[in-house]
Structure 1
Amino acid sequence: MGALPVAQVVTSADGIVVRWSRAAQELLGHSPQEVVGRHIAELLHPGADRSLGRSLWEAVAGGRGVMGTVTAWHADGHPIELEIWAGPVTDRHNDTSAVMVFAADAHAARRIRGSSAVWDGLFARSPVGIAVLDTQLRFLRVNPALEKMNGLPESAHIGRRLSQLLPEVNARDMEEAMQSVVDSGQPVLDRRRVGRTPADPDHDRVWSCSYVRVEDPGNRPIGVIASLLDITDQQRAHTEAEAGRRRLALLSEASIRVGSTLELERTAQELADLAVPALGDAATVDVLDTLARGDEPGPGLAGGISLRRLGKAPLSGSPVTDMLAPLGRTLVFPATAPYTLALSERRPFLLARMDAQSIAPAARHSSRPTQLLEVGAHSFMMVPLVARDLALGVATFYRTRAGAPFDGDDVALASQLAARAAVSIDNARLYHREHDTAVTLQRSMLPQHITPPTGIEVAHRYLPASDANEVGGDWYDVLSLPGGRAALLIGDVMGHGITAAAVMGRLSAGIRTLARLDLEPREILAQLEAALDDLAEPMLATLLYAVVDPATGHCRLTRAGHPPPALITPDGDVRLLDLPPGVPLGVGGARYTTTDHVLAPGSVLVLYTDGLIESRGTDIDERLAELTYTLAEPFPSLDALCDSLLARLMPASADDDIALLVARTTQVGR
């Protein structure tokens, strides 16, 4: 385990030095010319006890080999302790004719013996596997720990290479690493050996391997020392921890990516896209057909199910998904099919390893399982989409690439992803139901048939917002009053959803009753204010109330916090009427002002709610200017004018519902 310089000295039988080697000169500093011819005892240190040296010499002279420790005199004047081995060189008559002496630095000799002892102890007792290999990477020696790791005795190792001994580990990679150590002298640390050995033939294990080159005193390679540590348990724990981090990251990503909108199709596709390739190599998401049609999920699944495919990943380029039903296809399954069972029992269905035997139950219903097996699918799982105790559909996952099959952890992760998607799908279901209810209620409370009095032509539009929570507050109406007059009104309850629609209905019914009593506009607004005060929860509403007499062109307008009306004169001029704005109904304590105008025959009065002129990121004055520009353009009819306003001003995604009422005076005089 180290190099020890040894000096060679030859003396005559009476102790006269006759040969002095170069190693002796290097050890003691004396040249051959200085020593040859002198008695060897003269080389001992003058201050040391020479009796041991003399006794050793006498023993040699008597024909015996001896060894011992003496203190010699170095040429530069310092003492040096030597271990010597001496023996007689006899002639053919058995007489001592010369003495051969070997000498070495005693401290160096003891250090090497100690290192060797430490090495032998380490080699025998270390729990780390240790091997010594030659430059051809053949085993020369292995310790008991490595014998236990490999499940083979030392005798089975000696003279063989790793690739010959353990073919079920990545031996070629390991030999490449060892060869690089032999060639370059650079050690290799923590190279992973993976596979199975006779010690544990049924399980893969992992070892951390390090290699160091062994050299002779001339720095030439003579072999490799390998040390191996079994890190299977640590690696498994690390792998499990890493898998746990990946699961948490995927769930975190799901909270952001899945359910970004209240659309069934998009939510289903988001789940499929998230799962590939993070969880599987292919995925599909199928929702109950009744749900996809906008109906309720249905009472039960005992008679089988119809599912509509709304999610699929990858959409193309995968042998699995290429053969599966496309998006939008409705799939029908009998009561005993795995799809039906997964939904009816509301628990996952797992085929960890797909083979002819495991797919036999499903193959009775379809040839698809056999085809999937043929294109490389080797593991399959299906999890139900369940939210608020409602079964909504199923998500299926496939693995085709080489690797581990789905296991319990994968099923748990898939179930969590499916649960999150199911909540989003159910939210979409509830959203559509509430949206449809709100729109139905809103439309039912708007006037179904408007018959204005003679001399007035009207057109109107209502567009619900894109969000269910925004639907419900806007309305318009045209009422016939005594004397051939007409009441034009438009309002907006400052709230959303079904509640706003219901309040709007109460206000609409109340104003119809009050208007027919021919009350002053200010009195009507005061009564509406009182009606809002009676509500359990405070509500606000804006209103624009106009009374037009087509015979005289007289128009009286009262405004309660509503956007100003626009007027188009017969010659095409457009302006916003300057009216006191008032405050919304429900604020309390307000006095409303009525303003009089005269409308020339052919004038057009334009009433609208704020959904037409308000847009995120745009100043309200800019929107009002755009309104007047649009109104200044020629239009063939009032219906065409309504369509033009909506086309030009309605936001791409309406954040609020829009009501629009336009009226033109067509007659003057009775």
Structure 2
Amino acid sequence: MEPPPDRRPDSAGEAEALTARVTVAANGTVTAWNTGAERLLGHPAAWALGRPAAELLAEPPGPADLARLAALTDPAAVSRPHGTLALRHRDGRRLDVPVLAHRRTAADGTHDWLLIGAVTGRRPRPEDEELLRTGLLQAPACAVSVYDTDLRLRGSTPAGQRLLGLSDDESRGLRLTDVVGLPVAEETEAHMRRTLETGLPCHLENHARAPGETRGRAWSVDVHRLESPDGRILGVATTGHDMTEEHRARERLQLIAEAGGRIGSTLDVTRTAQELADVVVPGLADFVSVDLLTAFEDGAEEAAAGAPLTLRRAAHQSVLPGVPEAVLARGEVDMYPEGSPAAESLRSGRAVRHRFDETLIAGWIAGDRARAARIRDFGFHSLIAVPLSARGTTLGVVVLVRHRRPDPFEDDDVVLAEELAARAAVCIDNARRYTRERGTAVTLQRSLLPQRLPEQSAVQVAYRYLPAGARAGVGGDWFDVIPLSGARVALVVGDVVGHGLHASATMGRLRTAVRTLADIDLPPDELLTHLDDLVARLAADVDLPGDTDPADGVGDGVGATCLYAVYDPVSRRCALARAGHPPPAVVRADGTVDLLDVPAGPPLGLGGLPFEPVETELPEGSLLVLYTDGLVAARSPDDDVDDGLARLRAALTGPADAQPTPCDLDALCDRILNRVLPSRPMDDVALLVARTRALDSARVATWTVSPDPAAVADTRKNVVARLEAWGLTEASFVTELIVSELVTNAIRHGEPPIRLRLIHDRTLIVEVTDASSTAPHMRRARGYDEGGRGLLLVAQLSRRWGTRPHAKGKTIWAEQEIGAAE
């Protein structure tokens, strides 16, 4: 008995009866039996449930049958095994039934198998060929065209006819290049000819606007050769699938990926805005403008509520050269009127999309003649306005316009514009915050550097300071020129490890400490020792819990390098010491360049190691070049500090007649920077160039004083005579008092030898030196004290005074203003 003939089911229940569904548990018993299984084998569900599935076989299972059944019920088998089973009908007939098996897993982890077989319809029917042919020809999304061996079009599906814009009667007998006058038709026909000749199918993708379409589409086209059953070549067929949405999705993803790589390459607000504009055009729009609220230019964190929406044009871009659509130039300020899409987007904080034929847009255009002219001249038809928002703050607005693309913006375009604007807004906000913080750091650092160099006669000085590039941030490089007693001068260059506000603040503290230590006339090595202790204490303070701030560069400790030099124009000798700092360069009068061999010493803050000073003679006119390591830093991975030092020597080397004159030290600084520095330095650079001077021996007078109080009178006479020779007679009275007090103190409290020296420089300097290391101190004498008023008197009569220690003894000095006397 054959299964009942195929017929259309009249209900869902009858449709279920056309498919036999049997569930077999892991132990081989039947656990489910539907009406289709009953109709196929004749057994009701009450009989089948709980029975071994092997009883359904037509014959007692042999080894082959058991293997086939095991293949259908084996948990380790493939997920959907299939095969033909010989089953026994209730009336005894044998039925060979194709069966599909689906392995299923329940929530409790148990497994079973669902066996499925068709009750009817397994044999081919005469009408199946017509059904298949009609289904293929009428497939709505598949454009199929058939060509003969001459590549003449013989017929197309309805989708193919719509794509070509012609019916079969209108296009039959024509070639594809005749129907579609586009380069893509020539490319497709070349692939068709190759497939016709070789039999190899090919696949190609193209994007074009077909004659029957109003907008471009992306198509995935397969070309294959048609052959008869006996092997005759009949022609070729092309099958095109509309991949427009997939193509657009890929373009959007590619645009987002491109934006991730291009937007935010620097920490510059304007450049970041321009990078956004360059990505959007032409990938999404024909014209784009990026405007930022001016309320943030003064460092405000948010715009004032109710304030006018005044914006500055940060960037724009167009598919047309010169961006002729722009109403504003970059950097100009304007206000978007209320009712405009940009104002609506800024007020609402969300993206808006409009057509230019809308009533809202027409009202806005009527009130803005300049923009109305651009819209009319260039044919704007669609617009998106997206706010630039980051961290809860609206920074500006991006306006995207189409006028060359015929298709307007869609919802997916709005989503893409929002994604790009969100990425750019974070980068712009980062750049804005960095610019503000960098400006603060630069202002702080420049305020801590010398605002003007002090007047002194020992050296002529020129300097340069360059902050680091944008990514590195402001560092802690500094320099200083400090006048010392005895017409001497101290030259200092230092570098604090790290960048940012913390480095600038640390630099200010160290510069103040150096000036304080220099004021007590410590020699270079002792000064660096005291500075080393200070840096160690600062590092200990930074390492305290709660003091770390990775964003400010704090938490990595405090370290610094320093070079301290003292030049004496009377003896023309220079004493130097350095703590981990690059060595200074000296340019002699004959043009030769030397790097002074000053022991490097450890960087400041390490402690425990001494600093070794070096003293050298610098003839008058010598150039002493001090700098930070940013000047000679490596330019590339293959470069090192020695290469930077070689570039510095080359920039300084030259014949004597080519050396800069005293008025050209600034030109020398520029020459050094141009020849030594890379185009984009990655670290701060401080450069200090000093030309040494020598004080005329005729302006220095020295006497050895006998340790006898009676020698004071003779000393005063010698001083008065020398002041008369110098034309400083009016300063004689004050100078006599100072000399008397200082010499008398040296005789009473010091040790021989005692020397008196007068220096006629910008000031008149009195120096008394003795061999005692006991330093005097000023005090206020009581009413009946016989002494104690000497140093107080000296302090009142002189501009400044102090004590300078030596290896054996000390020098007490005092300076007087002599401008009025001269």
Kept in 2, the 8 Å contact 1:272–1:313? The answer is yes
State the Cα distance separating 1:491 from its structure 2 match. 0.7
Specify whether residues 130 and 487 from structure 1 end up closer, same or farther in structure 2 by C-alpha distance, changes over 3 A only.
closer
Residues 609 and 315 (structure 1), Cα distance of their counterparts in 2 relative to 1, 3 Å cut:
farther
What secondary structure, in the 3-state scheme, does the structure 2 residue paired with 1:172 have? Answer: coil
Give the counterpart letter for 2:659 in structure 1. Answer: P
Quick check: 1:634 aligned with 2:659? yes
For residue 593 of structure 2, what is the aligned residue in structure 1?
574
Query: Of residues 466, 469, 479 in structure 1, which corresponds to 2:482?
Result: 479
Amino acid at match of 1:314: S
Is residue 2:330 matched to residue 1:309? no
**Equivalent AA in structure 2 for residue 601 of structure 1:** E
SS in structure 1 at match of 2:127: helix
Q: Which residue of 2 aligns with 1:625?
A: 646
SS at structure 1 position matched to 2:359: coil
User: Quick check: 1:363 aligned with 2:365?
Assistant: yes
Taking the aligned partners of 1:421 and 1:324, their CA distance within structure 2 comes to: 23
1:127 to 1:281, Cα distance in 2 relative to 1, 3 A: farther
Q: 1:484 to 1:119 in 2, by over 3 A?
A: same
Q: Which residue of 2 aligns with 1:546?
A: 565
Structure 2 Cα separation of the partners of residues 506 and 394 of structure 1: 44
Q: What code does the residue aligned with 2:660 have?
A: F
Cα contact 1:294–1:429 (8 A) shared by 2 = no
Structure 2 residue corresponding to 1:564, chosen from 583, 586, 602:
583
Per the TM alignment, residue 635 of structure 1 is displaced from its structure 2 partner at its CA by 0.6
Q: Deviations over 1:498-521 (max 9, x none)?
A: 111111111111111112122233
Cα distance, 1:609 vs. partner?
A: 1.1
Q: How far is the alpha carbon of 1:265 from its aligned partner?
A: 2.6
Rounded Cα–Cα distance in structure 1 between residues aligned with 2:399 and 2:159: 44
**TM-score normalised by L of structure 2:** 0.55
**Residue of structure 1 in register with 2:708 after alignment:** none
Q: Does 1:396 align with 2:364?
A: no
Q: Which amino acid aligns with 1:526?
A: T
How much does 1:384 deviate? 0.9
Q: Residue 439 of structure 1 corresponds to which residue in structure 2?
A: 442
1:279 maps onto 2:284 in alignment: yes
Q: What is the aligned counterpart of 1:249 among 226, 249, 254?
A: 254
Q: Give 1:226-241 correspondences, 5 Å limit.
A: 235=242, 239-241=244-246
- Give secondary structure in 1 for the equivalent of 2:465: strand
CA change 1:657–1:123 in 2 (3 A) is same
What displacement does 1:551 show?
0.9
Identical amino acids, percent of aligned pairs: 39
CA displacement at 1:469 relative to structure 2:
3.3
**Conserved? CA contact 2:587–2:593, under 8 Å:** yes
Residue 181 (structure 1) shift = 9.8
Are 2:271 and 1:269 equivalent residues in the alignment? no
Q: CA deviation at 1:374?
A: 6.0
Which segments of 5 or more consecutive residues in structure 1 lack a partner in the other structure?
Answer: 1-116, 132-144, 150-160, 196-203
Superposition deviation, residue 207 in structure 1: 13
Q: TM-score, normalised by structure 1?
A: 0.66
CA contact (8 A) 1:378 1:400 kept: yes
Which one has a bigger Cα radius of gyration?
1
Q: Which residue number in structure 2 is paired with residue 498 of structure 1?
A: 501
Tell me, yes or no, if the aligned pair for 1:522 and 1:558 is still in contact at 8 Å: yes
Q: Greater RCO between the two (CA within 8 Å, min separation 6)? A: 1
Alignment of 1:439-478 (within 5 A): 439-467=442-470, 469-478=472-481
CA 552–242 in structure 1, closer or farther in 2 if over 3 Å, else same: same
CA contact (8 A) 2:325 2:378 kept: no
Distance 1:211 1:571 in 2: 87
Distance change (3 Å), C-alpha of 1:500 and 1:366? same
Higher mean C-alpha deviation, range 271-280 or range 307-316: 307-316
Instruction: Quote the Cα distance in structure 2 between the aligned partners of 1:129 and 1:376.
Output: 45
User: In the alignment, is the contact (CA less than 8 A) between 1:281 and 1:400 conserved in 2?
Assistant: yes
Determine if contact 2:580/2:601 at 8 Å carries over to the other structure. yes
State whether structure 2 residue 637 is matched by structure 1 residue 610: no
Using the alignment, how far apart are the partners of 2:327 and 2:136 within structure 1?
54
Code of the residue aligned with 1:629 in structure 2: it is A
- 1-structure distance, mates of 2:441, 2:430: 16
Assess, with a 3 A threshold, how the Cα gap between structure 1 residues 501 and 540 changes in structure 2: closer, same or farther.
same
Q: 1:121 maps to which residue?
A: 127
Residue 583 of structure 1 corresponds to: 602
Are residues 587 and 315 of structure 1, via their aligned partners in 2, closer, same or farther at CA, if it must alter by over 3 Å? farther
Name the amino acid aligned to 1:412. V
Matched, 1:512 2:515: yes
SS at match of 1:341: helix
Q: Which amino acid aligns with 2:263?
A: V
Q: 2:356 — aligned with what?
A: 354
1:376 Cα deviation from its structure 2 partner:
3.3
Distance 2:233 2:674 in 1: 88
Amino acid at match of 2:251: R
RMSD: 4.4
Letter in 2 for 1:610: D
Query: Partner of 1:655 in structure 2?
Result: 682
Pick from 409, 412, 417 the counterpart of residue 415 of structure 2. Answer: 412
> In the TM superposition, what are the counterparts of 1:286-325 in structure 2 within 5 Å?
286-289=291-294, 291=296, 296=300, 299-300=303-304, 302-314=306-318, 316-317=320-321, 321-322=324-325, 324-325=327-328
Task: Indicate conservation of the 8 Å contact 1:384/1:395, yes or no.
Answer: yes
Q: Aligned runs of 1:68-107 on 2, under 5 Å?
A: none
Partner of 1:71: none
Q: CA deviation at 1:357?
A: 3.1
Aligned to 1:469, what secondary structure does the other structure show? coil
Work out whether residues 524 and 613 of structure 2, in 8 Å CA contact, stay in contact via their aligned partners in 1.
Answer: yes
Q: Offset of 1:481 from its aligned partner?
A: 2.4
* 1:457, distance to aligned residue in structure 2 (A): 2.5
Query: Relative to 1, partners in 2 of residues 1:409 and 1:456: Cα closer, same or farther, differing over 3 Å?
Result: same
Letter in 1 for 2:581: H
| Structure 2 CA distance for aligned equivalents of residues 635 and 471 of structure 1 | 31
- 8 Å Cα contact 2:295-2:303 kept in structure 1: no
Q: Indicate if the aligned counterparts of 1:472 and 1:500 stay in contact, CA closer than 8 A.
A: yes
2:117 aligned residue: none
